[in-house]
Amino acid sequence: SSQALWLVLPQNYPLYIRSVPTENELKFHYTVHTSLDVVDEKISAMGKALVDQRELYLGLLYPTEDYKVYGYVTNSKVKFVMVVDSSNTALRDNEIRSMFRKLHNSYTDIMCNPFYNPGDRIHSRAFDTMVNSMMMQVC
Partner 1 sequence: MEGVTLSEAEQRYYCDLFSYCDTESTKKVASNGRVLELFRAAQLPNDVVMQIMELCGATRLGYFGRSQFYIALKLVAVAQSGLPLRVESLNTVKDLPLPRFVVSKNEQESRHTTLYSSDADNPASYSGVIPPPPPGRIQVKKGSVSHDAVQQRTSTDQQESTSPVVSPQQSPPTSPHSWRKHNRHPSGGNNERPVAGSAPFWPPFSEVQPGSSTSSDPIWSGHSPPPHQENWVSFADTPPTSALLAMHPASVQDQTTVRTVASATTANEIRRQSSSYDDPWKITDEQRQYYVNQFKTIQPDLNGFIPGSAAKEFFTKSKLPILELSHIWELSDFDKDGALTLDEFCAAFHLVVARKNGYDLPEKLPESLMPKLIDLEDSTVGEQTGEVGYSGSPAEAPPSKSPSMPSLNQTWPELNQSSEDTAIVHPVPIRMTPSKIHMQEMELKRTGSDHANPTSPLLVKPSDLPEENKMSSSVKFTAGNTVTDGYSSSDSYTSDPEQIGNAVTRQRSHSGTSPDNTAPPPPPPRPHASHSRSSSLDMNRSFSVTPGQQQAGVVAYPPAVPPRPQPSQSAGPHVHRSVDADGLIAHTSTSPQQIPEQPNFADFSQFEAFAVSGVNKEEDDEIETHSEALQVEKPSDSASSLRVAKADGRVEDKAPANVPSSAGKGTTPLAPPPKPIRRRLKSEDELRPEAEEHTQKTGVIAAVLASQPSIPRSVGKDKKAIQASIRRNKETNTVLARLNSELQQQLKDVLEERISLEVQLEQLRPFSHL
Judged by the rule CB under 8 A, the positions of this chain that interact with partner 1 are 53, 104-105, 108-110, 112-116, 123-126, 129
| Complex with partner 1: residue 13 or 115, whichever CB lies closer | 115
| 74, 16 Cβ separation under 8 angstroms | no
- Nearest to 127, CA basis, from 27, 9, 17, 36: 17
Q: How far is the CB of 84 from partner 1 (least distance, A)?
A: 21
Q: How far is the CB of 15 from partner 1 (least distance, A)?
A: 14
Q: How far is the CB of 91 from partner 1 (least distance, A)?
A: 21
| 102, 131 Cβ separation under 8 angstroms | no
| Three-state SS at 32 | helix
Q: How far is CA 88 from CA 21, 38, 66, 91, in A?
A: 14, 22, 10, 6
Q: How far is the CB of 104 from partner 1 (least distance, A)?
A: 7
| Complex with partner 1: residue 67 or 72, whichever CB lies closer | 72
What is the dihedral sign for C-alpha 10, 16, 20, 21? positive
| Complex with partner 1: residue 86 or 105, whichever CB lies closer | 105
| Three-state SS at 57 | strand
| Complex with partner 1: residue 2 or 106, whichever CB lies closer | 106
